[in-house]
Amino acid sequence: MTRALRPPLGLIGRLVAILLLTVVIEFGISTVFYERANQFSVRDDEARRLAEHLVICERLISERTPAERPAMAAELTTDRYLVRWSPAQPRMPTIAPSLDGMRGQVLAWEPALRDTGVRLWLATPGGQSVVAGTMRLPDRSWVAFQTLHHLDGLNLATERILLAFIPALGLVLLAGLLMRVVLQPLRRLALAADRVGQGSSEEVPERGPTEVVTVIRAFNNMQARIHQLIENRTHALAAVGHDFRTPLARLRLRAEAVDDPEARQAITDDIGEMEAMVGSLLAYLGGDSDPETPVRIDLAVLCATLVDEATDRGFDAAYAGPDHLEITVRPLGLKRAVSNLIENAMHHATALRLVVTEEPTTVTICVEDNGPGLPEDKLEEVLQPFVRLDSSRPRDTVGFGLGLPIVVRAVEHEGGRFSLRNQADGGLAAEIMLSKAATVHYKAAQQGKRSRAMSPV
């Protein structure tokens, strides 16, 4: 037999329930504290002194005519007690706690005060806790009295502040904890969304209030569709790459049969340009999947080897940096990025220098050339895909303008930073900055799972 599932309480309902719970707790605590105030008592001599003064006030004021009673009440006012007469019953504060324990002590000393309906409560004029009260005279008029300073042992001002502050603080902490529990699914959703934005896939458990469950379910469906689209695009790119390269290979073979050397060379150059364009397009559009796993490589050897390859092609290239520098990266992606920077320099300059610098927390790869550089307002624009600047690049340059965007994406995968700047003495400097922290973290996570590997360069 299937048990019917109760629909989860919505986010607003849970917040209202938390507020209701805090109000109920506050009410219970206040009730306890008021009961405690009711049971407050003082030393017997203080209760006796107050009782005697009240008996004297009741007798002397009752013997006077109504016109004389205010003056008599003023005469009965001392440095310890304030006494006032009123023909009508004075109003008792609605939020002042009664002092039933102290009232019992006063009546125990002077039982004659029982017929006066004496009442005592805690008052705080000027922020100081004092005892106030009323008693009824035989003619139904009233005497109001108040201590001018707190009785010995009576320190309710500080106590009331603490008693009000402590539960309020506790309720705030309790409400914050409950809010944290209620909003925990949203935090999981935010973390998952951040990881999905970096290329990983993670299904978030559908738990929490109704509104949050709805958002999580929509997020899971969305990321499933996104990853399906990426997978479909990857398969389509692989098919397109194969379909393009096959006829290009046939064209290259047929070009060898052309008798005219100039025509054969022109056809071969066009085929090479088409292959480079297809390769750069596939590298850029297929970079989201990022299937490559980071491994330990010798970055210095990789960079020096790429510089040697440029030198073998007859270009003026030089390497400056350490002989060996191990770092954990995605070797193919980083090699493609550095190669693109070298190729870019070879297209627009006559000499380049690749500098590798190691700092305590970072590793920097900088490709410097002696070319014309770029306008300052174009340094960010050229990092966008399919951007080619006529002022700095000839129109017959091979590619779609994806060289630098591929570098940007490769560096982002490594958690690094890529930037361009014009040098003071002319030329462009392209700088890749990688953090060692990411390398150390990856190394610790992989320790014991696989041995270090040197990437071929």
State how far the Cα of 76 lies from the Cα of 54, in Å rounded to an integer. 10
DSSP summary character for residue 320: E
**pLDDT surpasses 60 at 447:** no
Give the number of C-alpha atoms closer than 13 A to the C-alpha of residue 170, restricted to the C-beta side: 12
- Assign 1 a pLDDT band (cuts: 50, 70, 90): very low
**pLDDT surpasses 90 at 379:** no
332-378 confidence digits (pLDDT tens)? 888 888 988 998 899 889 999 999 999 988 999 999 999 888 888 88
Cβ-based neighbour number of residue 371 at 10 Å: 20
- Assign 440 a pLDDT band (cuts: 50, 70, 90): very low
Q: Per-residue pLDDT averaged across 203-209, rounded?
A: 78
Angle at 324 between CA 320 and CA 328, to 5 degrees: 110
Question: In Å, what is the CA distance from 163 to each residue of 2, 23, 160?
Answer: 50, 16, 5
Question: In Å, what is the CA distance from 313 to each residue of 180, 343, 346, 388, 410?
Answer: 63, 11, 10, 25, 25
Burial of 143 (0-12, 13-18, 19+ CB in 10 A): buried
Question: In Å, what is the CA distance from 155 to each residue of 17, 129, 132?
Answer: 37, 7, 14
Pairing of strands 351-358, 316-320: parallel
State how far the Cα of 285 lies from the Cα of 229, in Å rounded to an integer. 13
pLDDT reported for residue 336: 87
Angle at 55 between CA 52 and CA 57, to 5 degrees: 110
Burial of 77 (0-12, 13-18, 19+ CB in 10 A): middle
Contact 156, 123 (CB under 8 A): no
* Secondary element (H or E) of residue 436: helix 436-446
Cβ-based neighbour number of residue 204 at 10 Å: 21
Question: In Å, what is the CA distance from 206 to each residue of 8, 199, 226, 383?
Answer: 11, 21, 19, 40
**pLDDT surpasses 50 at 441:** no
* Secondary element (H or E) of residue 45: helix 44-63
**pLDDT surpasses 60 at 21:** yes
**pLDDT surpasses 50 at 439:** no
Amino acid at 32: V
pLDDT reported for residue 443: 39
Q: Phi/psi at 401 (nearest 5 deg)?
A: 80, 35
Contact 317, 351 (CB under 8 A): yes
Q: What residues contact residue 433 under an 8 Å CB cut-off, 6+ apart?
A: 362, 363, 364, 416, 417, 418, 419
33-85 confidence digits (pLDDT tens)? 555 544 455 566 677 888 888 989 989 998 899 999 999 999 999 888 899 99
The model's pTM? 0.45
What b/e sequence results for 175-186 when a residue is b if at least 16 CB atoms lie within 10 Å of its CB, and e otherwise? beebeeebbebb
Place of tokens 């705080």: 124
State how far the Cα of 302 lies from the Cα of 318, in Å rounded to an integer. 14
Angle at 250 between CA 248 and CA 255, to 5 degrees: 95
397-418 confidence digits (pLDDT tens)? 445 566 788 888 888 888 899 9
Domains of the chain: 41-153 (no CATH), 292-446 (3.30.565.10)
Q: What residues contact residue 369 under an 8 Å CB cut-off, 6+ apart?
A: 345, 348, 349, 351, 352, 353, 427, 428, 429
